[in-house]
Amino acid sequence: MTLDFPTKVQIKEVGPRDGLQNERQFISTNKKVEWINMLSNSGMDYIEITSFVHPKWIPALSDAVDVAKQIERKEGVTYAALVPNETGLERALESEVDEVSIFISASETHNRKNINKSIDETLPIYDSIIKQANVAGKKVRGYVSTVFGCPYEGTVSVERVKKVVDKLLTLGVYEVSLGDTIGIANPKQMESVLNQLNFPTSTLALHLHDTRGMALANILVGLSKGITVFDSSNGGLGGCPYAKGASGNVATEDLLFMLQQMGIETNINFDEYIQASKYLQSLFSKQLRSHQLQIHS
């Protein structure tokens, strides 16, 4: 039996948003900007630069407007940002991001804990945001978290995931990024979930945290199922400081290396990219979790 893999994949860099948002250590605007510029120079063509969630909720990204204004905008790179509501969208549009993302949980409890609303209360808000964003010429991407498991509810039914994904696509997001928020998915489950989510693979992406080290194995399953878009974080930055062992997204450089070794094209220059990883590591006293960083330190 031969596994089929795509010849080309797009990596979406979420380090500056998903990576930074839970960090207790505030990284200055200057440093964020320098870092993002290095990411831009690596060949990365999609970078989620910040979140326009209210600064009181995510102090780490309180300088969203400044970051968006100060970074170099490299030709061919999509600079995206997370928005939770209309106010966030307004600030994002003023900041001239290229694209916005919205987020919802497959788990009711997680949604409520995260944004203080039920799933059904959240969707109409996003309906409005998507319409407004589209009118302003911006595409909208949707994140669904807890697809493979929830820290509160445990198992999350695939039926529920299907409903939410379907709803988002109907409302007009161009892509849904399926999140393994707690890094609990296993490859057999990944295959099963992807089999059941009968949406065009071109509308799906994977966003996998690497808490238990299975992200690359799960991504391999995703590749074999025709998924060609994967979110990852520079240095593997991220994760919740309040949950034991919680770690960030799979490290971009680890994913990049695997893809390159497999002959799968990404347009990213590894040597340039790892410079960004090293720079990022220099901003933290803790060891970032990327394997490639250990080798290239």
- Residues at the contact surface with a second copy, assessed by CB under 8 A: 1-5, 184, 186-189, 191, 195, 210-214, 216-217, 219-221, 224-225, 244-245, 247, 251, 254, 257-258, 261-263, 287, 291-292, 294-297
**Residue 39: strand, helix, or coil:** helix
Q: Residues 161, 106: contact at Cβ < 8 Å? A: yes
Phi, psi of 24 (to 5 degrees): -75, -30
Place of tokens 């200055």: 28
Minimum Å gap between C-beta 293 and a second copy is 8
- DSSP run (H or E) holding 176: strand 175-180
Residues with a catalytic annotation lie at: 240
In angstroms, the CA 284 to CA 297 distance is 14
How many Å is the Cα radius of gyration of the chain? 18
Residue among 112 and 212 whose Cβ is closer to a second copy: 212
In angstroms, the CA 285 to CA 9 distance is 32
Chain centre to alpha carbon of residue 217: 18
Minimum Å gap between C-beta 130 and a second copy is 33
Task: Name the DSSP class of 235.
Answer: G
Minimum Å gap between C-beta 71 and a second copy is 29
Phi, psi of 206 (to 5 degrees): -115, 140
Residue among 113 and 188 whose Cβ is closer to a second copy: 188
Residue among 111 and 232 whose Cβ is closer to a second copy: 232
Residue among 44 and 194 whose Cβ is closer to a second copy: 194
Minimum Å gap between C-beta 291 and a second copy is 4
